[in-house]
């Protein structure tokens, strides 16, 4: 099946044209459908999907000590944590900057380290390992209940190898790679929620050229042996950003997944870096649809948008589309703060005042039920209140009619695995 999306700014007749550069291939076309959507229809569909994917109806029933329904009781529901993983990359600057810490921890539930888990940082000279920054950042994240993605074990780009690696023979490199995989993965086993095992190996082939075409597959197999319960991600760019880059197209990505699986790689996940210039939202959706057919965990792992007049608008489009898609399991922004400037996109200035991009993040967190969001109402004659809540952790407070003090306080979770209406009984 071929599926795609495009944006057309003109009206009139349209023709679909199919071409193959392989003259031995016959093209048979069946069941062609070109479906138009207005912007309003697209937005409506997206909002409907968000409701189905991320929310659950909750019925709160309040009774008195005699188990009789309590009408007109005031109920306040405060969300303590959002279940959907949404976060940003960080770097070691956060360890010594209280303002950065406060801004970050009040918003995000997941992170990745910009450079501190990469090979060139951990082993700048052969045999001399340094995990001090990564250890401290992991401890900081754990203290604040923030999950961490392991980024990354190996990077296939020849420009980002430790300087000493280039002089190694094939056998020496093989040993060094094995040592690297065991070193970082055994150190942080059970402490990260995913590993980017071989980063960007659709675009680059440093290890394949040095060690043979199965180098990446062998790395995933070794990673599975060391940490069998953690998702092992492929991670690459221009899969949902740019339809012209065939090296990491959804088809190329799917073929790479199947190749690694056939060589013994298991527990695989799909990492979509998502470094956008001008996003093509229909293409983004169709690419995610295609990869979603693999049935694997799928994250947007390094989201940013090229600076420009429409940066905040484009960021909002990408985040809304990703959050709504039923196959996307988490989002991380590539916006680690540095005083000299972020990689491509910052969310705040150096005083941690929001830039327009930061305002977009706060607006969407509020809309998606981020931590601290409050919903209140009163029970009906039957002592009940119904609410549609985002998946997450909540605290509910009940105040009796005419009372100035709160009585029942209880925590509860709305879990993504729940498929029916959740019921909660409170006795005051």
Catalytic: which of 114, 241, 273, 302? Answer: 302
In contact, 54 and 390? CB cutoff 8 Å: yes
Q: Which CATH class is domain 85-365?
A: alpha beta
- Mean pLDDT, rounded, for 321-335: 97
Sign of the dihedral through C-alpha 394, 49, 345, 347: negative
- Mean pLDDT, rounded, for 9-21: 79
Residue identified by tokens 């990564």 is: 134
Cβ within 8 Å of residue 246, ≥6 positions away: 252
Between CA 200 and CA 21 the distance in angstroms is 27
Residue 402 has pLDDT above 80, yes or no: no
- For residue 125, what are its two tokens? 């000279």
Up-side HSE of residue 56: CA atoms within 13 Å toward CB?
21
Residue 410: pLDDT band (50, 70, 90) is confident
Residue 17 has pLDDT above 90, yes or no: no
**What value, to the nearest 5°, has the Cα angle with vertex 93 and ends 91 and 94?**
85
Residue 3: pLDDT band (50, 70, 90) is low
- For residue 408, what are its two tokens? 């029942």
The pLDDT of residue 242? 85
- Mean pLDDT, rounded, for 71-92: 93
Residues 335-345: b if buried by 16+ CB within 10 A, e if exposed: bbbeeeebebb
Residue 407: pLDDT band (50, 70, 90) is low
Cβ within 8 Å of residue 68, ≥6 positions away: 383
Residue 117 has pLDDT above 90, yes or no: yes
Residue 428 has pLDDT above 80, yes or no: no
Residue 404: pLDDT band (50, 70, 90) is low
Per-residue pLDDT reduced to its tens digit, 237-289: 999 998 889 899 999 999 999 999 998 888 999 999 999 999 999 899 999 99
**What value, to the nearest 5°, has the Cα angle with vertex 185 and ends 179 and 186?**
85
Residue 150: pLDDT band (50, 70, 90) is very high
Q: Lowest-confidence range among 36-45, 62-71, 276-285, 312-321?
A: 36-45
Indicate if 200 belongs to the active site. yes
CATH number belonging to domain 56-79+372-427? 2.60.40.1120
Paired sense of beta strands 392-399 and 194-199, if any: unpaired
Average pLDDT, the chain: 92
Cβ within 8 Å of residue 323, ≥6 positions away: 50, 54, 84, 86, 331, 364, 368
Cβ within 8 Å of residue 126, ≥6 positions away: 162, 164, 176
In contact, 100 and 89? CB cutoff 8 Å: no
Catalytic: which of 200, 241, 316, 321? Answer: 200
Residue 401 has pLDDT above 90, yes or no: no
Examine residue 152 and say whether the peptide bond preceding it is cis (omega within 30 degrees of 0).
Answer: yes
Paired sense of beta strands 74-82 and 374-378, if any: antiparallel
Q: Lowest-confidence range among 42-51, 121-130, 295-304?
A: 42-51
Q: Which one has a higher pLDDT value, 157 or 82?
A: 157
- Mean pLDDT, rounded, for 206-229: 96
Indicate if 340 belongs to the active site. no
The pLDDT of residue 20? 80
Q: What is the pTM of this model?
A: 0.89
Residue 338 has pLDDT above 80, yes or no: yes
- Mean pLDDT, rounded, for 10-17: 80
The pLDDT of residue 21? 80
Where are the domains positioned within the chain? 56-79+372-427, 85-365
């Amino acid at each position: 099946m071929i599926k795609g999306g495009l944006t057309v700014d003109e009206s009139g007749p349209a023709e679909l044209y199919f071409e193959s550069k392989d003259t031995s291939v016959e093209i048979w076309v069946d069941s062609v459908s070109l479906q138009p959507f207005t912007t309003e229809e697209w937005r409506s569909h997206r909002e409907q999907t968000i409701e189905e994917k991320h929310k659950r109806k909750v019925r709160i029933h309040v009774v008195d000590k005699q188990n009789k329904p309590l009408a007109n009781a005031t109920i306040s529901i405060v969300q303590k944590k959002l279940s959907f993983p949404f976060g940003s990359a960080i770097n070691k600057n956060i360890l010594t900057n209280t303002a950065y810490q406060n801004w970050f921890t009040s918003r995000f539930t997941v992170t990745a380290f910009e450079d501190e888990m990469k090979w060139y940082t951990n082993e700048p000279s052969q045999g001399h390992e340094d995990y001090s920054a990564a250890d401290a950042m992991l401890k900081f994240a754990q203290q604040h209940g923030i999950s961490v993605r392991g980024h990354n074990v190996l990077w296939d780009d020849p420009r980002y190898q430790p300087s000493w690696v280039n002089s190694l023979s094939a056998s020496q490199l093989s040993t060094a790679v094995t040592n690297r995989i065991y070193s970082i993965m055994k150190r942080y086993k059970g402490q990260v929620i995913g590993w980017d095992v071989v980063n960007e190996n659709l675009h680059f082939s440093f290890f394949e050229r040095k060690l043979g075409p199965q180098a990446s597959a062998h790395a995933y197999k070794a990673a599975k042996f060391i940490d069998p319960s953690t998702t092992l991600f492929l991670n690459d760019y221009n899969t949902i950003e740019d339809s012209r880059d065939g090296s990491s197209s959804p088809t190329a990505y799917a073929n790479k997944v199947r190749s690694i699986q056939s060589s013994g790689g298991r527990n695989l996940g799909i990492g979509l870096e998502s470094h956008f210039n001008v996003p093509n939202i229909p293409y983004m959706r169709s690419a995610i649809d295609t990869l979603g057919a693999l049935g694997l965990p799928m994250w947007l792992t390094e989201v940013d948008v090229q600076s420009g007049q429409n940066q905040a608008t484009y960021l909002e489009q990408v985040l809304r589309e990703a959050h709504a898609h039923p196959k996307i399991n988490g989002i991380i922004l590539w916006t680690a703060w540095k005083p000299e400037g972020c990689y491509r996109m910052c969310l705040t200035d150096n005083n941690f005042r929001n830039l327009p991009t930061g305002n977009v993040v706060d607006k969407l967190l509020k809309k998606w039920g981020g931590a601290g969001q409050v919903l209140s109402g009163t029970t009906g004659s039957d002592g009940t209140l119904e609410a549609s809540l985002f998946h997450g952790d909540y605290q509910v407070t009940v105040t009796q009619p005419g009372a100035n003090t709160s009585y029942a306080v209880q925590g509860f979770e709305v879990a993504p695995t729940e498929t029916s209406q959740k019921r909660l009984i409170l006795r005051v």
